[in-house]
Amino acid sequence: MMAITAVTIARLRNLFAVVVLSTLYSFLMATVLVVLDAVDVALTEAAVGAGISTVLLLGTLYLTRSEEAVPVHRAWLPFGVALVVGGLLAFGTLGLPEFGRPDSDIHQHVAPRYLEQGKAETGVPNIVTAVLASYRGFDTLGETTVIFTAGVGIILLLRRSRSDESDRPTDRRDGS
């Protein structure tokens, strides 16, 4: 179902429908994540992927326009590139561990320690929260920095356009 949604997004021209389908896609992904026992990630995906992203995309469509132009050339080259990349990646997966096996490498390293000691060391029963806020706290600090930078960038981009309109209406087209 996710694959069908993704392919439809690729084919549709009406951007409004594309945005709605991407929301549907995010909800499907969140469901898959619940099945894979990643409940925290599923919550975030449903809130951020289906919620905030949709609001942002719809806001952009409101400010621009919602119909995509018909492409002038056929998309054979990108299709070929995508096929080659996909083939190579699928070949690469054959060396990866099989699904759901408890003896694969990623379950041997640092994760068992988190699961065994995490509650005693941090006092939080949800290990994902414990790792996020305690063991890998610097990671989260870096993430916050990224969001801050993105926010500053957005404010600068959108404010500039408004001051251009009011101060120098003739220069607006020069943009750069």
Partner 1 sequence: MNPLDYANYWIAMFLLVTGLFIVIARGNLVKKLVGLGIFQTSVYLLYIAPGKILGGTAPIIDPRFSVYSNPLPHVLILTAIVVGVATLALGLALVVRINEAYGSIEEDEVHALDLERD
Where in 98-157 is the site for partner 1 (CB under 8 A)?
A: 98-102, 104, 106-107, 110-111, 114-115, 118-119, 125-128, 131-132, 136, 139-140, 143, 146-147, 150-151, 153-154, 157
| Residue showing tokens 């389908």 | 21
State the Cα–Cα distance between residues 133 and 128, nearest whole angstrom.
Answer: 9
Residues 79-98 that bind partner 1 (CB under 8 A): 79, 81-83, 85-86, 89-90, 93-94, 96-98
- Taking phi over 0 as left and psi of -120 to 50 as alpha, with beta for the rest, 70 belongs to beta
Q: Is 39 in the site for partner 1 (CB under 8 A)?
A: yes
Q: Is 25 in the site for partner 1 (CB under 8 A)?
A: yes
Rounded to a whole number of angstroms, the minimum distance from the CB of residue 168 to partner 1 is 13
Report the residue from 26, 31, 167, 169 that binds partner 1 according to the rule CB under 8 A. Answer: 26
- For 94-116, give one letter per residue: b (16+ CB within 10 A) or e: eeeeeeeeeeeeeeeeeeeebee
- Residue by residue, DSSP assigns 68-80 as PPPPSS--HHHHH
Applying CB under 8 A, among 24, 27, 31, 61 the residue interacting with partner 1 is 61
Least separation, in Å, of the C-beta of 57 and partner 1? 7
- Shortest Cβ distance from residue 144 to partner 1 (Å)? 9
C-alpha 69/C-alpha 173 separation (Å) is: 22
What tokens were used for 130? 């414990």
Pick from 24, 31, 78, 170: which binds partner 1 (CB under 8 A)?
78
